[in-house]
């Protein structure tokens, strides 16, 4: 039985970080955590692009557009949807997540989820560099680990790369 795991290695990778501006006090630290983690793991700073969109609703479309270029090995998505007094949270969080999964499936490129869906701002703050770490960092590590896993498990196949 073959068993494969990946390591979060970034050398030679090109990554897009797609971030939501809404709840900026949360999303800026998430994006910064993602970028610094990618760079610390070997992704060249010039091989990291950051796209800022207005809110979580726009994340899937921006990811799809970025992946359609064929330039990126993975997308790291960060944002924060905080529950309010209306059902808006349920629609935005669920549809944004589904759209991101659809993009990952359709383009066969890892799209990792640093999109916080919390009940309170305090919970979001705890996950954007607070007591529960930085989920932007976690999403960046996950992207690199999955890419390395693909390299190890499927060495003769290309994922998300344009055919020459």
Q: Which residues are catalytic?
A: 88
User: DSSP string covering 38-95, please?
Assistant: HHHTT--GGGEEEEEESSGGGHHHHHHHHHHTT--SEEEEEEEEE--SSTHHHHHHHH
What six digits make up the tokens of 121? 């701002």
Phi, psi torsion values for 82, nearest 5 degrees = -110, 130
């Amino acid at each position: 039985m073959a068993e494969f795991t990946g390591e979060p290695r970034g050398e030679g990778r090109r990554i897009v970080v797609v971030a939501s501006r809404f709840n900026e006090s949360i999303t800026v630290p998430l994006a910064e955590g993602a970028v610094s983690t990618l760079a610390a793991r070997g992704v060249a700073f010039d091989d990291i692009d950051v796209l800022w969109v207005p809110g979580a609703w726009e994340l899937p479309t921006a990811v799809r557009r970025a992946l359609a270029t064929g330039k990126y090995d993975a997308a790291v998505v960060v944002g924060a949807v905080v529950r309010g007094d209306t059902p808006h949270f349920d629609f935005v969080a669920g549809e944004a997540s589904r759209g991101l999964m659809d993009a990952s499936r359709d383009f066969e490129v890892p799209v990792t989820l640093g999109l916080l869906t919390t009940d309170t701002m305090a919970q979001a703050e705890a996950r954007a560099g607070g007591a529960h770490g930085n989920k932007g960092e976690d999403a960046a590590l996950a992207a690199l680990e999955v890419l390395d896993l693909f390299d190890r498990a499927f060495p003769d196949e290309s994922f998300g790369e344009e055919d020459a």
